[in-house]
Amino acid sequence: MSRTLILVKPDAYARGLTGEILARFERKGLSIVALEKQTLTAATAETHYAEHKERPFFGELVEFITSGPLVAAVLEGNDAVKAARQIIGATNPLEAATGSIRGDFATEVGQNLVHGSDSDESAAREAAIFFPSL
Ligand code: CMP
């Protein structure tokens, strides 16, 4: 068993897709260990996305992720990072498989509905940002 951190981003929250998205993870066999609606400060967003600091879209990314409420969750299951990323789909929704969240519900890379940790190390680092008492 392992854990991953997912974010139902502000676009998904605003579109009322939170339940649909969480249900897909649960149906796959991932269970919810922690769940909270949060509105991020720029400082928290910059910490979470620190690895993208030098990217040209960093400012846009921080602006978007702080633009409204999101839902953060820690999920647990067999190979949770890989399982969640399969459910989420490729970063660019136009390249994401039909049946994945991004493939089914999004068209723009900057508004791709969900974030999922990319490794066990990232999952531990990111979970500590959103759920420091976990
Ligand atoms: P996420 O999985 O949250 O991790 C980093 C995010 O950067 C990614 O999803 C995308 O939403 C975002 N991103 C990647 N490429 C671009 C881009 N070219 N323009 C805007 N945002 C991007």
Residue 97, pLDDT score: 98
Burial of 122 (0-12, 13-18, 19+ CB in 10 A): middle
State the DSSP string of 92-124.
Answer: STTTSPBTBHHHHH--BTTB-SEEE-SSHHHHH
User: Does ligand 1 come within 6 angstroms of the Cβ of 109?
Assistant: yes
Burial of 17 (0-12, 13-18, 19+ CB in 10 A): buried
Residue of minimum CA distance from atom 3 in ligand 1: 115
Residue 82, pLDDT score: 98
| Cα separation, 47 vs 41, whole angstroms | 10
Is the C-alpha dihedral spanning 119, 124, 125, 128 positive or negative? Answer: positive
3-state class (DSSP) for residue 73: strand
Residue 2, pLDDT score: 98
Number of helical (H) and strand (E) elements in the chain, helices listed first: 7, 4
Question: What global pTM score does this model have?
Answer: 0.97
Report the run of H or E that residue 37 belongs to, with start and end: strand 31-38
Residue of minimum CA distance from atom 22 in ligand 1: 110
Residue 129, pLDDT score: 98
List the chain residues with pLDDT less than 70: none
Residue 55, pLDDT score: 98
Residue of minimum CA distance from atom 8 in ligand 1: 91
Residue 85, pLDDT score: 98
Residue 98 in marked binding region: no
| DSSP class of 58 | H
Residue 91 in marked binding region: yes
User: Does ligand 1 come within 6 angstroms of the Cβ of 61?
Assistant: yes
